[in-house]
Chain A
């Protein structure tokens, strides 16, 4: 039988098959992930949801090429076992900007490393800064910015390098609730207009329901995929606030929380 749903989906960008990952070796080895099967397709916004310690950050680092699987395969853009590369952008939990560079130069960094000319760099960096609403802070140094602004700058830095996939590791986890909600809304708008392929790690059920096209729940020790389905609440319209007020929201939320507790 041909799976019509799969056929209609975009090109496969990441595919992980029967992958296990452990830290250390021998008697001190600690199994982090086991039997992971996962895909990311073009134009998908996949939220990987899990409690802390379930290995979700390790999963992201494996896809980013920072770690290597102990067994099984992690195939990213048709290549297994490649290190970090500009096609796979990463936004960290802490903005991780270069403290000696102005926001503008931070955002230009990727283009500069890839040898783009001065004009192109400037133009594309300014586009990215406008997209995240930071053009007025372009010539300030990172330490002069609030946590939310830093995280927006980090997102702009990743976008400006125009990666095929963006991996985000709880980028709003360290922010206060108000800033977090506003950034979730901004990211939602950004995604609706760009359809950038994103893999987003979070422990926040609401965040997953608001942003994801597909939700993957990771749990257990070592971590395994407990749940992998399209987000029932995914909608092209409305703001995050409107979404939160929808009738099914509470029910779906509860369902996810149940899965997480298993």
Chain B
């Protein structure tokens, strides 16, 4: 067993440095509090938002709205990208059908086609969910298709020699073989969808954490902007930790074959 020294204190050091720089620079008046609020102001704004909510809705509703959009879009992406990715990894014909479409829209900035989605679906939730779905779909699909292509051929042949039909090979060998890649895809897709979510709420929305930040900027409430950005970052880290925990418990064999 390899002993790895714990380097966490270095991370704590850099975070501590940034926080104290913030605290000192605002405390000594090096920066205009209109643009960089002091830690105390930000904390006060956070407590206020927790108690009173922001613009008529409690904070939980803003976060909940954002997460609801993210989750719905993500479930849709899981339900479509995984089977399609498996299929196109397995069959070159299916790949030839699907790949060009995905390769075309994947590099586009999501906000470019978001304008179209808003035109078609309105500024409500459906256009946002569609946008997030598209953002999550491509990375997931690509990871799964690449995962299928990487399966050792002998593994499939071994299953065939043990009496597995082609359909059973798909369900009992190809799908589980790709689980590590599926989890990698989920992590990338979650990252893509999340950044897109915040951007989408900044363009057209009346609720959500992203909207809160944009709205606060119109009133020069930089303390609320700080709170919003902090929350977004925290939620992203928690989501990523959750996915990594899921991967660790679900595919313990990953990387140890």
Contact = CB atoms under 8 A, between A and B. Distances in A.
Contacts of A66: 157
A113 B164 contact: yes
Contacts of B164: 109, 113
Contact of A90 (B158, B165, B172, B252): B158
A113 B168 contact: yes
A98 B173 contact: yes
Contacts of B179: 100
A204 to B, nearest CB: 21
A86 B163 contact: yes
A99 interface: yes
B162 A157 contact: yes
Nearest to B162: A110
Contacts of B165: 113
Interface string B95-133: 000000000000000000000000000000000000000
Nearest to A92: B154
B40 interface: no
Contact of A85 (B158, B161, B251): B161
Contacts of B161: 64-65, 84-86, 88-90
Interface residues of B, number: 23
Interface of B: 152, 154-155, 157-165, 168, 172-173, 176-177, 179, 251-253, 256-257
12 contacts: A64-B161, A65-B161, A84-B161, A89-B162, A92-B154, A96-B158, A98-B173, A99-B256, A109-B172, A110-B163, A113-B168, A141-B252
A189 to B, nearest CB: 24
Contact of A96 (B154, B168, B176, B253): B154
Contact of A161 (B154, B163, B252): B163
B158 A99 contact: no
A71 to B, nearest CB: 23
B167 to A, nearest CB: 11
A222 B251 CA distance: 44
A96 B152 CA distance: 9
Contacts of A65: 161
